[in-house]
């Protein structure tokens, strides 16, 4: 967990946040230990911004990673409190990560809060609902 934390903390510097100045970093760890990173990227047209969690997941999928390859994701912010993934990210996490995958929230003090994917978005909408 310490390794993920250090990567997430360093990666936060890559966030493009000229409007909110609220950097978020996400580090996705695969079962084999491989890492995919993401940051939030804002846009003057706010609806076109992308969150760190989705950036990391979309990067992994773009590189051929599948749901069953993913172990966990850590979400880091440089604040002394936990920040949970937004609703859009919860929905994407729910579909693109295994049900029992860990979602870890990390603050700038090195504290962690860990939940399972299905606990983050109970009753999430999935392909089984179609």
Planar angle of CA 17, 1, 94, nearest 5 degrees? 65
Annotation says 21 is catalytic: no
Planar angle of CA 45, 79, 29, nearest 5 degrees? 80
Catalytic residue among 6, 31, 53, 128: 53
- As given in the structure block, the two tokens for residue 127 are 């392909």
- As given in the structure block, the two tokens for residue 12 are 């936060």
Helix axes 87-96, 52-62, angle to 10 degrees: 30
Which positions are annotated as active-site residues?
53
């Amino acid at each position: 967990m310490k390794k993920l934390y250090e990567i997430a903390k360093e990666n936060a510097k890559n966030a493009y946040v000229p409007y909110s100045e609220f950097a978020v970093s996400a580090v996705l760890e695969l079962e084999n230990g491989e890492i995919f990173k993401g940051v939030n990227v804002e846009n003057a047209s706010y609806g076109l911004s992308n969150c760190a969690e989705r950036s990391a997941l979309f990067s992994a999928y773009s590189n051929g990673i599948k749901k069953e390859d993913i172990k966990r994701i850590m979400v880091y912010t440089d604040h002394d409190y936990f920040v949970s993934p937004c609703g859009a990210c919860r929905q994407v996490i729910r579909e693109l990560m295994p049900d029992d995958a860990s979602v870890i929230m990390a603050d700038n003090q090195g504290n962690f809060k860990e939940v399972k994917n299905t606990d983050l978005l109970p009753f999430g909408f999935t392909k089984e609902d179609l």
